[in-house]
Amino acid sequence: MAAVTRFARPLSAYAVGVRVLANLVLALVVALTASPVFARATEEPGKESAAQDDYDAFPRDELFEALAADPRWPRFAVAHEWRLGTDEFDRVANVSFGESFSFVRSPEYEWGQWEVGLQAMVDATFDLTASSFDLSNEDYFVGLVLSFLVDDVTAQLRVSHTSSHVGDEYLLANSFSRESVSYETIDLLASYDLREWLRIYGGAGIYVSPEPDFDPLLMQFGFEWKSPVHFSEGRVTPIFATDLQLRQANGFTPEVSVLGGFRFADPAEPERHLELFARFYHGRSPDGQFFRQTVDILGLGLRLGF
């Protein structure tokens, strides 16, 4: 009986998570089919249904733009961080090597477009107070992405894997008990441009087969502001963004990331850019091996977009 009780809770939680995700997918399908543009396409079968005839292999950008304030969105970045509220670190260097890559994009149909791509990242944290700047944590992430664009709404369905490892130098220098941390995630995000300079987004997902075992539901919301006022002939744009994540494993306690900075880019190629940013984060540690800790982070850094 104890064994039945032990397995019933996670299975029930997974079932709830699957139902939540299924409802989100259903809502997206309903929104697509209810769109006036979609309706015109279905009511006029004799009319040319695509604005362009060819599929686009390896497009330069992605339909679903990167989330500016998400601390673990795949990108190339480096930051100097001050960790508050934890005994593990005072100052760290956080380095990310990652990117979103589009394989193929559909023609621009009357109802919109779809796209298939890949996301991948290695994220490493170095203890700057150690004599040799010990590697303390490294997280590996890879995911397959299916995106849709309909009018001003973009949606992304992602299936991903994450695993976390503690650095050997840190493990030797500290009495730290390593955990095997890995999980798969299925999540759905939708983004809407209220204005050319204002974007909101939200979504939910589930963890599949998490190790160690924890409750599977997660939610994410946020907004991004890109200044309508530019500098240096459009090459410099102030940005501000907030990302909010809630996880059932934490009792849905908010994890808040607030970011501000400047984006430097050629107006003709805005997808290729450099950003200088300052960030404040409060919540459970974004480093996988230390996920049980709650931290406050102040960071200064730069990152690249391709």
Tell me the one-letter amino acid at 133: F
CB neighbours of residue 167 within 10 Å: 19
Which pLDDT does position 65 carry in this prediction?
Answer: 94
Q: Total structural domains in the chain?
A: 1
Q: Is 288 left (phi over 0), alpha (psi -120 to 50) or beta?
A: alpha
Nearest to 190 by CA among 200, 205, 206, 201: 201
All residue ranges of the chain with pLDDT < 70 are 1-53, 175-176
Which pLDDT does position 138 carry in this prediction?
Answer: 93
pTM: 0.79
Q: Cα-flanking dihedrals φ and ψ of residue 100, to 5°?
A: -100, 135
Provide the sign of the torsion angle of the four alpha carbons 183, 119, 124, 244, taken in this order.
negative
Q: CA-to-CA distance for 221 and 199, rounded, in angstroms? A: 11
Which pLDDT does position 52 carry in this prediction?
Answer: 56
Tell me the H-state helices in the chain: 2-34, 36-43, 168-173
Which pLDDT does position 59 carry in this prediction?
Answer: 92
How large is the C-alpha radius of gyration of the chain? Answer: 21
| 241 Cβ neighbours under 8 A, 6+ residues apart | 67, 68, 69, 222, 223, 224, 225, 258, 259, 260
Residue 161: beta bridge partners? 142, 184
| Residue 38 belongs to domain spanning | 2-45+54-305
Nearest to 31 by CA among 113, 108, 114, 111: 111
Per cent of the chain over pLDDT 90 is 59
Tell me the one-letter amino acid at 125: T
Q: Check which CATH number belongs to the domain holding 224 and give it.
A: 2.40.230.10
Tell me the one-letter amino acid at 232: S
Report the length, in residues, of the chain.
Answer: 306
Nearest to 139 by CA among 88, 174, 96: 96
Which pLDDT does position 51 carry in this prediction?
Answer: 53
Which pLDDT does position 25 carry in this prediction?
Answer: 44
Which pLDDT does position 166 carry in this prediction?
Answer: 87
**Average pLDDT over the chain, rounded to whole?**
84
